[in-house]
C-alpha cells in the first residue's frame, strides 16, 4: 500500500510572530521555519505503518517555493521514501492546495492520504476535508488512533465531547491530532541518507490546476495587548479582589 | 442576502454555540434560515424556531445525519446552500469537520473561525495562534464561514416564531460509517460556555490532584480545563484541553493553576475577562497576561481557596 503525506513549511511553533509595521502581513523575514507540528505527526504515522509492514511506500508532498525542499528533506530523514515539490511562488489558499493535492493523488494513486489537522500559521483546518470533497474519499479528521484493516481503516477522532470512531473504506483521508503519536527525531545518518532520496519537482500547470485566490488579505494587526495586572500576597487578598474589585465572584 | 446557519446539536438539545452563530449571522444581515440535520431531532428544530431572528427552520431528520458524518452532512449543506449567499456554522469539531467539505463542493474558499463581521464580505479572524488578527475579504459568490462562538453574544433563545419545514433530501454514502463513541460524562458546565473556568497544567503533577481543582470548581460552579502538558502527561482526557488545538474559551473568570502560559495555551484563553494565575514560578509567562497573580505553591493555595469561597 502506498501512503501520501502532505507537509507544510511554517514558522517554528516557539517563535512569537510580529506584525509588519505597514500591517500588510506578519514578518517572516529571518524567522526560524520548521515542519508544521501536525505534519510531523502525519509523517511519523505513515512511517510507523511502513515499519509494521502495512505500507510499502511513503511519499511526501509539499507546495510552495524552493525553500519547502528543506522540510521535504526533513520528512525523508524521518523515514519517507521519496518527495514531490509542487513549485509555486506563493503559498496558495486551502482550496488551491486541495486541488493541487488532488492532482498528485490522481497521479500517485495512494490508498491513504495523511495530513495534519491544521497548519499553525493560517490555523484554517480545511485542506484534508477539501481534498476529501474533491476526490470523493471519506475522511477521518482529528485522528488520535488509526487502525488499518483489510480494505478499510478505523479512525478514532477527537471530538468536543470525547472520542468518536468511524470506519472508512480505502482510499481514505486522515488528518492528525496531536495525540496520534510522538514523532521521532531524525538521526544524523538518516539526515545524510535523506539527501540521496528522490525529490521530484512538478508545477501547478503539469497538474492542470490554476492557482487562484478568492479571499483577499486586507490587513493584519497585532491583537489587543493584555497588560500584566497585580500580584496578590495570599489567597485572602485574591478572593477579596475577585469579589470587590473584579466583581466576578 | 440570505443566510443558512447549520445548527449544532446532539439530536436532543440545541447547542448554545448555535445562538452565538446566529448573532454573527445577524451582524451580516439578511434572512436567516436554520438547518437542523440529525436523527430524531424534532425537539432541536422546535428550539431553533424560537431563537430570535430566525425566518425558517429546515429539518433533515434521517438516520443518514444521526452522527453528523462529514460525507453526508457536507454534501447536504452544499446542495441546500446553493440558494444562499452565506453558510455559517460554529467552529466546533463538527463544524470544522463538514464545512470545508461543503466549501470545496461549492468550489469556494472557507473562512475559518471568524471573530468579527466587518461587512457582508469582510471578516476578522485570528491567525498564528491568535498572535495576529487578519481582516479578509471574500470574492466568492457563496461565503462559507465558521464562527468562533466565544466572540459573539448569543441571540435570545426565546421570542422567535419561525416556521418549520421538512427537507426530504437524503444523502448517504457507502464509504464512511459511524462505529462508536466515548463521550466524557460530567456534571459540570460545558467548558466552552462556562462563566468560570479553572484549569490545571503540568504543575498538578498527576490526575488525582485534579480533585483539588474540582473541589474549587464545585464551589464556583466552574468548568475544569487543562493545558496540553496535563493532557499529554495523561492527567486528564483531551477534551478538557484549552488552547490553539483544543477548545477556545472566553469566560468571565479564568483561573490558571500550575500552567506556565505557552503561546499555544494563551491562544485558547486570553480573551477571558479576568485571568488569575497561580504558579510558584514568578517568571512564568502566564503572569504577563494575568490580572491577578499569586506566586505560591498550588498545593497550599487550592485547599485554602476552596475553604474561603
Name the grid cell of B216.
474549587
Query: A187's torsion region: left (phi>0), alpha (psi -120 to 50) or beta?
Result: beta
Residue in B170, B37, B102 with CA at minimum distance from that of residue A132: B102
The pLDDT tens digits for A13-26 are 999 899 999 999 99
Average pLDDT for chain A: 96
Taking contacts as CB-CB distances below 8 angstroms, the residues of chain B near A167 are: 176-177, 179
What's residue B76's pLDDT?
98
In this structure, what DSSP letter does residue A169 have?
E
Q: How far is CA B296 from CA B87, B114, B234, in A?
A: 48, 38, 24
User: Which residue has cell 445562538?
Assistant: B19
Predicted TM-score (pTM) of this structure = 0.95
Question: Are B292 and A26 an interchain contact pair (Cβ–Cβ within 8 Å)?
Answer: no
Whether A247 shows a pLDDT value over 90: the answer reads no
Residue in B236, B144, B273, B147 with CA at minimum distance from that of residue A162: B236
From B75, which residue of chain A is nearest by alpha-carbon distance?
A133
Whether B66 shows a pLDDT value over 90: the answer reads yes
Structural contact between residues A236 and B308, judged by C-beta atoms closer than 8 angstroms? yes
Tell me the CATH number at A162.
3.40.50.620
Question: Are A248 and B196 an interchain contact pair (Cβ–Cβ within 8 Å)?
Answer: yes
Name the grid cell of B250.
472566553
Taking contacts as CB-CB distances below 8 angstroms, the residues of chain B near A214 are: 108-109, 138-140
pLDDT category of residue A90 using cuts at 50, 70 and 90 = confident
Average pLDDT over every residue of B195-199? 97
Q: How far is CA A88 from CA A54, A65, B49, B109, B119, in A?
A: 33, 5, 48, 19, 32
Structural domains of chain B ordered from first start: 2-166 (3.40.50.620), 196-308 (3.40.50.1220)
Q: How far is CA B72 from CA A32, B143, B180, B219, in A?
A: 41, 20, 17, 43
Cα A29 to chain centroid, rounded: 21
Please state, in angstroms and rounded to a whole number, the distance separating the CA atoms of residues A45 and A115: 10
Within 13 Å, how many C-alpha atoms sit on residue B98's CB side? 23
The pLDDT tens digits for A40-80 are 999 999 999 999 999 999 999 999 999 999 999 999 999 99
pLDDT category of residue B90 using cuts at 50, 70 and 90 = very high
CB atoms within 10 A of CB A42: 32
Q: What percent of chain A has pLDDT over 70?
A: 100
What's residue B53's pLDDT?
96
Please state, in angstroms and rounded to a whole number, the distance separating the CA atoms of residues B214 and B306: 10
Name the grid cell of B92.
466546533
β-bridge partners, B176: A168
Whether A101 shows a pLDDT value over 90: the answer reads yes
The pLDDT tens digits for A54-64 are 999 999 999 99
Sheet with A139-149, strands from edge to edge, namely A199-202, A82-87, A57-64, A2-6, A112-116, A172-176, A139-149, A152-159, A162-169, B176-183
Average pLDDT over every residue of B20-25? 98
β-bridge partners, A84: A61, A200
Give the number of A-B residue pairs with CB atoms closer than 8 Å. Answer: 258
B235 part of contact set with chain A, CB < 8 Å:
no
Q: Which domain covers residue A78, as residue numbers?
A: 2-245
Q: How far is CA A29 from CA A17, A32, A122, A223, B144, in A?
A: 11, 9, 17, 20, 32
From A177, which residue of chain B is nearest by alpha-carbon distance?
B245
Number of domains in chain A: 1
CA distance A140 to chain B (A): 9
Q: Which has the higher per-residue pLDDT, B187 or B293?
A: B293
Amino acid at each position: 500500500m502506498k501512503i501520501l503525506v502532505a507537509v507544510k513549511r511554517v514558522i517554528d511553533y516557539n517563535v512569537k510572530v510580529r506584525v509588519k509595521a505597514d500591517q500588510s502581513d506578519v514578518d517572516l523575514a529571518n524567522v526560524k521555519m520548521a515542519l508544521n507540528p501536525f505534519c510531523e505527526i502525519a509523517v511519523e504515522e505513515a512511517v510507523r505503518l511502513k515499519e509494521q509492514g502495512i505500507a510499502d511506500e511513503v511519499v511526501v508532498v509539499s507546495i510552495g517555493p524552493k525553500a519547502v525542499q528543506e522540510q521535504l528533506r526533513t520528512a525523508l530523514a524521518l523515514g519517507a521514501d521519496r518527495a514531490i515539490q509542487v513549485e509555486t511562488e506563493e503559498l496558495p489558499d486551502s482550496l488551491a492546495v486541495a486541488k493541487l493535492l488532488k492532482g498528485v493523488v490522481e497521479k500517485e494513486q495512494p490508498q491513504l492520504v495523511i495530513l495534519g489537522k491544521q497548519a499553525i500559521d493560517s490555523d484554517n483546518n480545511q485542506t484534508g476535508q477539501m481534498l476529501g470533497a474533491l476526490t470523493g474519499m471519506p475522511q477521518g479528521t482529528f485522528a488520535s488512533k488509526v487502525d488499518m484493516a483489510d480494505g478499510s481503516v478505523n479512525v478514532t477522532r477527537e471530538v468536543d465531547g470525547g472520542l468518536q470512531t468511524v470506519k472508512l473504506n480505502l482510499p481514505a483521508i486522515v488528518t492528525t491530532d496531536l495525540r496520534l503519536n510522538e514523532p521521532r527525531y531524525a538521526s544524523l545518518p538518516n539526515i545524510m541518507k535523506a539527501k540521496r532520496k528522490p525529490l521530484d519537482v512538478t508545477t501547478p500547470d503539469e497538474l492542470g490546476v490554476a492557482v487562484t485566490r478568492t479571499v483577499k488579505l486586507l490587513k493584519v494587526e497585532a491583537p489587543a495587548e493584555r497588560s500584566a495586572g497585580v500580584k496578590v500576597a495570599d489567597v485572602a487578598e485574591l478572593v477579596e479582589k475577585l469579589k470587590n474589585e473584579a466583581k466576578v465572584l | 442576502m440570505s443566510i443558512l446557519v447549520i445548527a449544532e446539536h446532539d439530536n436532543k438539545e440545541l447547542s448554545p454555540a448555535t445562538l452565538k452563530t446566529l448573532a454573527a449571522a445577524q451582524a451580516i444581515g439578511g434572512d436567516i434560515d436554520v438547518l437542523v440535520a440529525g436523527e430524531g431531532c424534532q425537539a432541536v428544530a422546535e428550539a431553533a424556531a424560537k431563537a430570535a431572528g430566525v425566518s425558517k427552520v429546515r429539518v433533515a431528520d434521517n438516520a443518514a445525519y444521526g452522527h453528523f458524518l462529514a460525507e453526508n452532512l457536507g454534501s447536504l449543506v452544499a446542495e441546500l446552500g446553493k440558494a444562499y449567499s452565506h453558510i455559517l456554522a460554529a467552529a466546533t469539531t463538527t463544524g470544522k469537520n463538514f464545512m470545508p467539505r461543503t466549501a470545496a463542493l461549492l468550489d469556494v474558499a472557507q473562512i475559518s473561525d471568524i471573530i468579527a463581521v466587518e461587512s457582508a464580505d469582510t471578516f476578522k479572524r485570528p491567525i498564528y495562534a491568535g498572535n495576529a488578527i487578519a481582516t479578509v475579504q471574500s470574492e466568492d459568490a457563496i461565503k462559507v464561514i465558521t464562527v468562533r462562538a466565544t466572540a459573539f453574544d448569543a441571540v435570545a433563545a426565546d421570542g422567535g416564531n419561525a416556521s418549520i419545514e421538512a427537507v426530504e433530501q437524503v444523502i448517504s454514502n457507502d464509504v464512511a460509517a459511524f462505529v462508536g463513541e466515548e463521550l466524557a460524562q460530567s456534571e459540570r458546565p460545558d467548558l466552552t460556555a462556562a462563566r468560570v473556568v479553572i484549569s490545571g497544567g503540568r504543575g498538578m503533577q498527576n490526575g488525582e490532584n485534579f480533585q483539588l481543582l474540582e473541589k474549587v470548581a464545585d464551589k464556583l460552579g466552574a468548568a475544569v480545563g487543562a493545558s496540553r502538558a496535563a493532557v499529554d502527561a495523561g492527567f486528564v482526557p483531551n477534551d478538557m484541553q484549552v488552547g490553539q488545538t483544543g477548545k477556545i474559551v472566553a469566560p468571565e473568570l479564568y483561573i490558571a493553576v500550575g500552567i506556565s502560559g505557552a503561546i499555544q495555551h494563551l491562544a485558547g484563553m486570553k480573551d477571558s475577562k479576568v485571568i488569575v494565575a497561580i504558579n510558584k514560578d514568578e517568571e512564568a509567562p502566564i503572569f504577563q497576561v494575568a490580572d491577578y497573580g499569586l506566586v505560591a505553591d498550588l498545593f497550599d493555595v487550592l485547599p485554602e481557596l476552596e475553604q474561603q469561597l
